[in-house]
Amino acid sequence: MGENRISNVQAAAQLPLSKLLSRAETDVSYRASLASELRPLTGRSHVIGITGSAGVGKSSIISKLTQLFRSEDHRVGILSVDPSSPLTGGALLGDRIRMSNHYLDDGVFIRSLATRGQLGGLSSAIHIALSILDVAGYDVILIETVGTGQADVDLGYIADTVVLVLLPDSGDTIQFLKAGSLETADIYVINKADRGNSGRVVAELKTTLGLNNPYSEDELIILETSAITDNDSGIFQLGQELDRIHGRWIKDDSLRAHREAKLKGRLLAGIRHAIVSQALGSQQANMVTTNLLESIQLGEIDIETAISTAVEKLWTHPDR
């Protein structure tokens, strides 16, 4: 039998985009070979993650941004991750109504990725979805995820630019800070600014981020938006900031390097997590820590000595 010489990319081009994504999502070996063929062709699109708690207005902002990008003749891909979570299950119907004009537009592709990864983060299938949309000519890809948690931290590694959506009247800043994802955002949006009171959150953010960040206040991008108002809603400004950030990478040809740095970050974080779980999840680790705890309590050793003893036993010689 002759070898099949049709490349995955050519074969993929024959499939409707939604079928292609489904196949790449479910068929791991197809995904791998398609990914390696697509890799050199990627790097044109701007991947923007939009995250925030349930109901803050992520889909509404995405709908407005899509309208804006379409008016600039950009093609837009929208990936919504985990719409099946109990909090958001009902929102999909609302989204369909909110996005109804975009569903009829062939310059817009909308898709839900139902799965999350094993560790509660984003499933690895998202990488191939992004490559496919990139190569298919979508200039902007918007990913919607519901924070806070590992998925949010992952989003910081996957998206080129992350927009964190907050509300004027909630304690979300602290929640995101605790989850470790507050600082992964590039742009902070206080949505539903039409309700008033957003100035307080802006001040709170500036203080919190100022304390934890090497950047000066001027470098922080904090915008107030109203995704249900048409005039002067802040969405235009958001679009401008996004264009500006992306434009800079294109100008100095650094998007690929930016993505590589993020990928490396995700890889290292994954390895760190795996090493920690492996080292601390064993029976031996349990025994070592129990014994050391007892020694500390008896005043035999101090905590620093206990820590270096544990590292020596569990990490340097894990089999001992």
Report the interface residues with ligand GTP, using CB under 6 A: 52, 54-60, 88, 91, 94, 146, 191-192, 194-195, 226-228
Closest CB to ligand GTP among residues 235, 306: 235
Residue range at the interface with Mg ion (CB under 5 A); choices 55-63, 70-78, 235-243, 244-252: 55-63
φ and ψ at residue 187, rounded to 5 degrees = -130, 135
Least separation in angstroms between residue 286's CB and Mg ion is: 42
The site partner of 146 among Mg ion, ligand GTP, none (C-beta below 5 to 8 Å per kind) is ligand GTP
Q: Exactly one of 59, 66, 191, 198 binds Mg ion (CB under 5 A); which one?
A: 59
Instruction: Give the span between the Cα atoms of 48 and 163, in whole angstroms.
Output: 7
188 vs 222: CA distance, rounded Å: 5
Q: Which does 54 bind (CB under 5 to 8 A by kind): Mg ion, ligand GTP, none?
A: ligand GTP
Task: Choose the binding region for Mg ion from 39-47, 83-91, 107-115, 265-273 (rule: CB under 5 A).
Answer: 83-91
Q: Which strand (E) or helix (H) includes residue 113?
A: strand 108-113
Looking at the Cβ atoms of 150 and 226, the one nearer to ligand GTP is 226
Number of residues near Mg ion (by CB under 5 A): 3
User: With respect to Mg ion, which residue has the nearer C-beta, 115 or 309?
Assistant: 115
CA atoms in the 13 A half-sphere facing the CB of 118: 3
- What is the CB neighbour count within 10 angstroms for residue 284? 14
- CB nearer ligand GTP, residue 184 or residue 191: 191
DSSP H or E run through 79: strand 76-81
Rounded distance, CA 88 to CA 146, Å? 8
Taking CB atoms within 8 Å and a gap of at least 24, the contacts of 86-94 are 87/54, 87/146, 88/54, 88/146, 91/54, 91/55, 91/59, 94/59
- According to the binding rule CB under 5 A, does residue 60 interact with Mg ion? no
Q: Give the one entry of Mg ion, ligand GTP, none that residue 132 binds, where binding means its C-beta sits below a cut-off of 5 to 8 angstroms depending on kind.
A: none
- Site residues for Mg ion per CB under 5 A: 58-59, 91
